[in-house]
Amino acid sequence: MVYDIAFSPYSRRSESSVAACKQAQAQSRRLARRSIYLHRTRIQDLPSDILLDLYQVLSAIDRPNPHDVGWIRMTHVDTLWRRVGLDLPILWANDYGSMASHDAVQTFRTRARNIPLTVCIPERLSKQHENVLIYAISASIRDIEALSLKTYSYLWSSLVAGKTLPKLRILDLDDSKLHVGGAVDAAPSDYLEMDFPLKAPLLTHVSLRGCRLFPLFAPSLLSLTLADQRTTSARVLDVLRGTPSLEHLVLDMSIFNIYARDQVEHRAAVQLPRLRTLQILPASGPSATGTIPSMSHRLKRALVQRIITPEDTEKDVVDDSFAPVEPALPEVPQFAGTLDAQQVAALPPGPAPVVAPALPNPASAIAQPLGFQIEPPSYEFVMTHDDAVPPAAIAPVAVVPDAADAPGMGVTDAAAPPSTEPPAYSFSP
């Protein structure tokens, strides 16, 4: 017998409290009956609307990547689940390029149909994945709506410069890991910046870190962030001329470090009538080491004066007195290398002499996240046109795995050219 506390002689309840308690009990009984129904329902018998919700949720929390197929495994449960998954082109478009496999790229492209593509890889790329993406993006660049990448050894900015991208809305590129700050002054001007404009009428948000800066023709651009740039403030001023609708602008002090080539004081002013916020922050990345020369602050003031904004624009500009200093090495006792054993023993306690670390050769200004040196990246795509086809050598064909490597996923003919790419899942039509 169920004991109902609502009728306990020890409880003093009003009539409304008793009614609320009875209502809660009725709801509990309904939920119990519902749970029994769900328990008896097979997973294959779930209605299509429930499957749609499952696909939406899993596609957000279990994205495909080079090591796992993510939400795509749902398309191999049964015929109904597969049909529902293949009828959702937006999911395939949102994860275009997420797997380091040419088979996967082609499958995602086909199943996305005419939906604009999104290439968003938040983690640092591997070389294999980068090679696949170079080809994948080049082949479909005019259909890409959002592009967000971090480099391994390829300058992504050179892939979009000089293009007309009618569907691009978001551009977020990080090439900063390719550069060492000591090579900036020795770099030629054609390495620091490019003269091939990006034309994107729908582009609204741009973030470029460590890129080769290029002109922008983006009449709809609302937000622009330039950080750790290898360029001049004069070039930044030229870029702003193609962004008349800009509302938010974020720069850092790295653009004022190449003052020997900077001609901002001789450039005409640019009008930004809709600008709401202007930020100039301390330098980031390799540009953050060392002190900021006084010339950089002068160029900063000259740039701010030449950006004509509304009176109510909020400006947050780093102070002229800000001068970040590179952390000092431990102090080395003077003439420590010439003292004999007795003199060294007589020294007061202190840090031991240290050997200055060997600096990398500025000529090979390519540094990777793991600290090793590689040969300079290839820039074959810098001069390519919109309809150019990338060399096949840059994107080797993926090795197709045996059936045992991808149970239930379906594989194509295993006779594929040799490649260093690990086995990757392929998808049946």
3-class SS letters over 11-66: CCCCHHHHHHHHHHHHHHHHHHHHHHHHHHCCHHHCCHHHHHHHHHHHHHHCCCEC
- Can you tell me the distance from the alpha carbon of 45 to that of 78, in angstroms, rounded to the nearest whole number? 10
Handedness of CA 208, 191, 140, 245 (dihedral sign): positive
Helix runs in 271-403, H state only: 294-305, 341-346
Q: What is the DSSP string of 192-259?
A: HB----EE-TT--EEEEES--B--EE-TT--EEEEES-SS-HHHHHHHHTT-TT--EEEEEGGGGS-T
pLDDT at 252: 87
- Can you tell me the distance from the alpha carbon of 101 to that of 325, in angstroms, rounded to the nearest whole number? 45
> C-alpha distances in angstroms, 383 versus 59, 86, 139, 235, 389?
37, 37, 16, 20, 12
Nearest to 286, CA basis, from 403, 205, 380, 183 = 183
- Can you tell me the distance from the alpha carbon of 234 to that of 255, in angstroms, rounded to the nearest whole number? 9
Task: Please give the structure tokens belonging to residue 141.
Answer: 């660049």
Reading the chain (429 residues) residue by residue, the pLDDT tens digits are 444 444 344 344 455 566 766 776 776 666 555 555 555 557 777 788 888 999 999 999 999 999 999 999 999 988 899 999 999 999 999 999 999 999 999 999 999 999 999 999 988 888 999 999 999 999 999 999 999 999 888 889 889 999 999 999 999 999 887 654 444 444 444 455 678 899 999 999 999 998 888 999 999 999 999 998 877 888 888 899 999 999 999 998 877 666 556 677 778 899 999 999 999 988 765 555 544 566 677 778 888 888 999 999 999 988 755 554 343 334 434 443 444 555 545 655 554 444 444 434 433 333 333 333 333 333 333 333 444 444 333 333 333 334 443 333 333 333 333 434 444 444 444
Task: Please give the structure tokens belonging to residue 167.
Answer: 């569907």
